[in-house]
């Protein structure tokens, strides 16, 4: 099929989605998937170049908490709060990234440093519980009923759906812009051989920092969006190691080298999480009155098994594997002619 | 165009390069030779910015460049090759050269210009310029050519060629030597050629500098250097025949 036609059809379906009588709950799922997709896309922008960050939960938390705190404590509208949160996340990315890149902390060591960042930010939130509510979470104050432009709040899901759809599309566009830029070649080269890249004039530290800041800022934006939509954030729902790992897992499942990979990853993992939650529940399952299993850990177990299977059998993710299959078929067709 | 004075580098207690002076005129080809561990590569790495000298100065067109990072030195018009070729395997041959063409000219060129410099450089060294030929299609000689093409795509005024032709057969060695000659003739690029094998080098260079244990032991026209007793002594043993052969060729 003509790919332009396909895109037009998908776009039409997406625009029509809230008007075809979709229930509140499915629409909620779609919105959540779109917001997370944007975060995952942000992660994969750097992750695809071997910059595996386990610290994106921190950026997401910064995005959500800074926006909400500025609103509640200082009455600053999210229109100002979100940019401030994004600047904070970008600053944090430089603070962590610069020393790492300058002193060549790469691969597993980079992952470990960023892992620590996740936990540090989570601990800071918990330690400042008098202000942030700690692990109990935090709620931005409602600004009247219905739709408030200044507070970026809405109890109308349809409006939020279109905001999330726009943001998600912007994420895909940014991914593609990076993909087509010269920076992509530089980053591919850097991920393979830093010295050889520097020898042809590539500023290794600067290129890595640029993409890291972009990725962090996007993730922070996703955190702020999530906060504005859910009207509740806690260290476990948008921060910490758990969220950082969730991001990595979803992108690996979907496909790290395709613009739509993170989105497909979000669809699969979030739906899976919903299904497991509804199916298994969150209560403890008791075999006898003395032996109880905490089934809340079951989704994590399923995630873990799937992650291992994907890394072994589908390292390029679902979208990557499909693209390869498609390309191979195309080549065979050409040969047959 | 290049003036190096009192250049020294220590690694812990070991002195790799000891107080070396030399200079280079525009359009010259200088051969830098010496046995393994004589400090050739260390000098080379200091010139290209990979290593910081402990003492001494390196002046390029009157500007001090010692300790400047590699990408900046590249931007100043110093291209380098690596002894063991280091292509980027996930990019195609053309993309490898185009990356150098773009970033090596300090981003001051458009993509089209970068791609054009890449194609010119590949043509110069005799590699195919078709867009998606993979690195895996290149053999040892091809990879060395690509190293050269990458350096040329950065449009250097000074080329640091860590050629080390070991691993190539005789006709490939001669080809590589002729290529450097052509590059100088056609593009007017000044060249420092680092080599372990003396034979081919002597035929091409204007001047040779011989290093041993980090010190300069001889410098001059190839035929004079090859006849220098100190040089013969350094190369005596494993490479004595080679010196004799080089002397007769020169």
Residue of A nearest to B149 (CA): A200
Rounded Cα–Cα distance for residues B83 and A259 (Å): 38
Rounded average pLDDT over A314-336 = 77
Residue B240 or residue B230, greater confidence: B230
Give the count of beta carbons closer than 10 Å to the beta carbon of residue B45. 21
Rounded Cα–Cα distance for residues B68 and B77 (Å): 13
In angstroms, what separates the C-alpha of A185 from chain B's closest C-alpha?
7
Q: How sure is the predictor about A334, in pLDDT bands with cuts at 50, 70 and 90? A: very low
Residue of B nearest to A207 (CA): B103
Summary mean pLDDT of chain A: 90
Architecture of domain A3-336: Orthogonal Bundle (1.10)
In angstroms, what separates the C-alpha of B151 from chain A's closest C-alpha?
7
CB contacts < 8 A, A to B, total: 71
What is the CA angle B154-B160-B164, rounded to 5? 120
Pairing, β B29-33 against β B190-195: parallel
pLDDT at B240 exceeding the cut of 60: no
Percent of chain B predicted with pLDDT > 70: 93
pLDDT at A337 exceeding the cut of 90: no
**Strand ranges for chain B from DSSP E:** 2-11, 14-24, 29-33, 55-60, 63-64, 78-80, 158-162, 190-195, 207-212, 215-220
- pLDDT at site A283: 63
Q: How sure is the predictor about A148, in pLDDT bands with cuts at 50, 70 and 90? A: confident
Q: pLDDT tens digits, residue range B52-75?
A: 999 999 999 999 999 899 999 999
Select from B103, B135, B153 the residue whose CB has the most chain A CBs within 10 Å, as the one to mutate to test that interface.
B103
- pLDDT at site B244: 61
- ipTM value for the complex: 0.89
Q: Which neighbouring-strand residues pair with A286?
A: A292
Summary mean pLDDT of chain B: 88
Instruction: Mention every residue, 6+ apart, whose C-beta is less than 8 A from residue A330.
Output: none
Sign of the torsion formed by the C-alpha atoms of B196, B199, B200 and B201: positive
Q: Which neighbouring-strand residues pair with A294?
A: A284
Q: pLDDT tens digits, residue range A288-297?
A: 667 766 666 7
Contact B50 A196 (CB under 8 A): no
- Contacting residues of A for B74, CB less than 8 Å apart: 198-201
Q: How sure is the predictor about A276, in pLDDT bands with cuts at 50, 70 and 90? A: confident
In angstroms, what separates the C-alpha of B72 from chain A's closest C-alpha?
7
Contact A199 B74 (CB under 8 A): yes
pLDDT at A117 exceeding the cut of 80: yes
pLDDT at B238 exceeding the cut of 70: no
Q: What DSSP letter does each residue of B109-135 carry, written as one string?
A: S-HHHHHHHHHHHHHHHT----TT--G
Residue of B nearest to A190 (CA): B88
Element spanning A129, H or E: helix A129-132
pLDDT at A52 exceeding the cut of 90: yes
pLDDT at B239 exceeding the cut of 60: no
In angstroms, what separates the C-alpha of A105 from chain B's closest C-alpha?
17
- pLDDT at site A223: 97
pLDDT at B215 exceeding the cut of 80: yes
Which range has highest mean pLDDT (A21-25, A140-144, B122-126)?
Answer: B122-126
Contact A182 B102 (CB under 8 A): yes
- Contacting residues of A for B106, CB less than 8 Å apart: 201
Instruction: Mention every residue, 6+ apart, whose C-beta is less than 8 A from residue A29.
Output: A270, A271, A274
Residue B230 or residue B158, greater confidence: B158
Chain B residues with CB within 8 Å of chain A CB? 48-50, 69-71, 74-75, 80, 82, 86-91, 95, 98-100, 102-107, 111, 114, 150-151, 153-154
- pLDDT at site B34: 86
B/e letters for A93-108, b = 16+ CB within 10 Å, e = fewer, are beebbeebbeeebbee
CA distances from B235 to B14, B36, B164, B217 (A): 22, 10, 17, 12
Rounded average pLDDT over A114-135 = 94
Q: How sure is the predictor about A335, in pLDDT bands with cuts at 50, 70 and 90? A: very low
Q: How sure is the predictor about A71, in pLDDT bands with cuts at 50, 70 and 90? A: very high
Rounded average pLDDT over A175-197 = 96
């Amino acid at each position: 099929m003509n790919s332009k036609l396909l895109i037009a059809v998908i776009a039409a379906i997406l625009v029509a989605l809230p008007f075809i009588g979709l229930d509140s709950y499915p629409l909620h799922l779609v919105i959540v998937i779109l917001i997370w997709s944007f975060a995952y896309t942000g992660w994969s922008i750097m992750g695809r170049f071997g910059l595996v960050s386990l610290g994106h939960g921190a950026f997401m938390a910064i995005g959500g908490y800074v926006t909400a705190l500025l609103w509640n404590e200082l009455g600053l509208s999210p229109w100002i709060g979100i940019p401030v949160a994004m600047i904070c996340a970008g600053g944090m990315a430089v603070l962590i990234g610069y020393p790492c890149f300058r002193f060549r902390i790469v691969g597993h060591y980079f992952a470990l440093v960023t892992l620590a960042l996740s936990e540090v930010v989570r601990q800071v939130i918990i330690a400042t519980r008098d202000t942030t509510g700690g692990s109990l979470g935090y709620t931005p104050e409602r600004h009247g009923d219905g739709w408030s432009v200044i507070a970026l709040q809405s109890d109308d899901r349809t409006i939020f759906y279109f905001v999330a759809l726009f943001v998600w599309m912007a994420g895909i566009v940014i991914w593609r812009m990076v993909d087509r830029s010269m920076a992509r070649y530089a980053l591919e080269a850097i991920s393979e051989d830093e010295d050889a890249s520097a020898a042809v004039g590539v500023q290794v530290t600067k290129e890595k920092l640029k993409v890291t800041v972009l990725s962090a800022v996007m993730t922070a934006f996703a955190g702020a969006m999530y906060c504005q939509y859910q009207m509740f954030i806690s260290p476990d729902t948008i921060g910490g190691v758990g969220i950082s790992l969730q991001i990595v897992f979803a992108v690996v499942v979907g496909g790290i080298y395709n613009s739509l990979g993170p989105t497909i990853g979000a669809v699969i993992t979030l739906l899976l999480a919903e299904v497991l939650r509804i199916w298994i529940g969150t209560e403890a399952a008791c075999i006898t009155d003395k032996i109880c299993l905490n089934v809340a850990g079951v989704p994590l177990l399923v995630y873990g098994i799937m992650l291992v299977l994907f890394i072994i059998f589908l390292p390029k993710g679902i979208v990557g594997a499909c693209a390869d299959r498609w390309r191979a078929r195309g080549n065979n067709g050409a040969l047959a002619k | 165009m290049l003036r190096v004075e009192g250049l020294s580098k220590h690694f812990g207690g070991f002195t790799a390069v000891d107080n070396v002076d030399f200079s280079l005129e525009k359009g010259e080809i200088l051969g830098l030779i010496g046995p393994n561990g004589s400090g050739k590569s260390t000098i080379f790495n200091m010139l290209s910015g990979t290593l910081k000298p402990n003492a001494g100065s390196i002046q390029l067109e009157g500007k001090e460049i010692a300790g400047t990072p590699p990408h900046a030195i590249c931007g100043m018009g110093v291209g380098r090759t690596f002894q063991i070729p280091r292509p980027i395997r996930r990019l195609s041959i053309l993309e490898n050269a185009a990356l150098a063409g773009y970033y090596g000219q300090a981003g001051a060129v458009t993509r089209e210009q970068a791609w054009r410099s890449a194609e010119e450089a590949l043509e110069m060294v005799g590699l195919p310029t078709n867009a998606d030929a993979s690195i895996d299609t290149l053999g040892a000689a091809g990879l060395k050519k690509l190293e050269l093409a990458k350096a040329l795509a950065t449009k250097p005024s000074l080329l640091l060629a860590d050629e080390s032709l070991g691993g190539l057969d005789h006709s490939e060695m001669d080809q590589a030597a002729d290529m450097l000659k052509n590059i100088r003739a056609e593009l007017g690029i000044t060249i420092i050629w680092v080599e372990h094998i003396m034979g081919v080098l002597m035929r091409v260079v204007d001047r040779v500098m011989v290093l041993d244990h980090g010190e300069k032991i001889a410098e001059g026209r190839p035929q004079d250097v090859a006849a220098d007793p100190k040089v013969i002594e350094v190369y005596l043993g494993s490479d004595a025949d080679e010196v004799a052969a080089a002397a007769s060729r020169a």
